[in-house]
Amino acid sequence: MALVEIRDVRKSFGTNEVLKGVSLDIDEGEIVTIIGRSGSGKSTLLRCINALERVDAGEIRVEGKTVRTDMRDLRQFRQRVGIVFQAFNLFPHLTVEKNITLAPVLTGKASKSKARQLALDVLERVGLAEKVDAYPEQLSGGQQQRVAIARCLAMAPHLMLFDEVTSALDPELVGEVLKVMEDMAKQGMTMVLVTHEMGFARNVASKIVFMHQGKVWEQGKPAELFANPQTPELKSFISSIK
User: Would 176 be classed as within a structural domain?
Assistant: yes
Can you tell me the mean pLDDT for 153-178? 87
Query: Is it the case that residue 8 has pLDDT exceeding 90?
Result: yes
- Residue 109 falls within a domain, yes or no? no
Question: Residue 199: phi, psi to the nearest 5?
Answer: -60, -45
Q: In what order do the strands lie in the sheet with 31-35?
A: 81-84, 159-163, 190-194, 31-35, 207-212, 215-220
Q: SS3 for 9? A: strand
Here the CATH number for the domain that contains residue 70 is 3.40.50.300
190 falls within a domain: yes
User: In the prediction, which pLDDT does 224 show?
Assistant: 92
In a domain, 119, yes or no: no
> Is 45 among the domain residues?
yes
Is 242 a residue whose pLDDT tops 80? no
Inside any domain, residue 148 = no
pLDDT digits (tens, 9 = 90+) for 167-179: 878 888 888 888 8
Q: Based on the structure, what is the number of domains in the chain? A: 1
Q: Is residue 73 part of a domain?
A: yes
For residue 2, how many C-alpha atoms fall within 13 Å in the half-sphere facing its CB?
14
Average pLDDT over residues 86-99: 92
Asked whether the predicted pLDDT for residue 48 surpasses 90, the reply is: yes
pLDDT of amino acid 53 = 95
pLDDT band at 203 (very low <50, low <70, confident <90, very high): confident
Q: Is 168 exposed, middle or buried (0-12, 13-18, 19+ CB in 10 A)?
A: middle
Structural domain of residue 70, as residue ranges? 4-90+159-241
pLDDT, tens digit, 9 for 90 and up, residues 12-44:
999 999 999 999 999 999 999 999 998 999 999
* 63 within some domain: yes
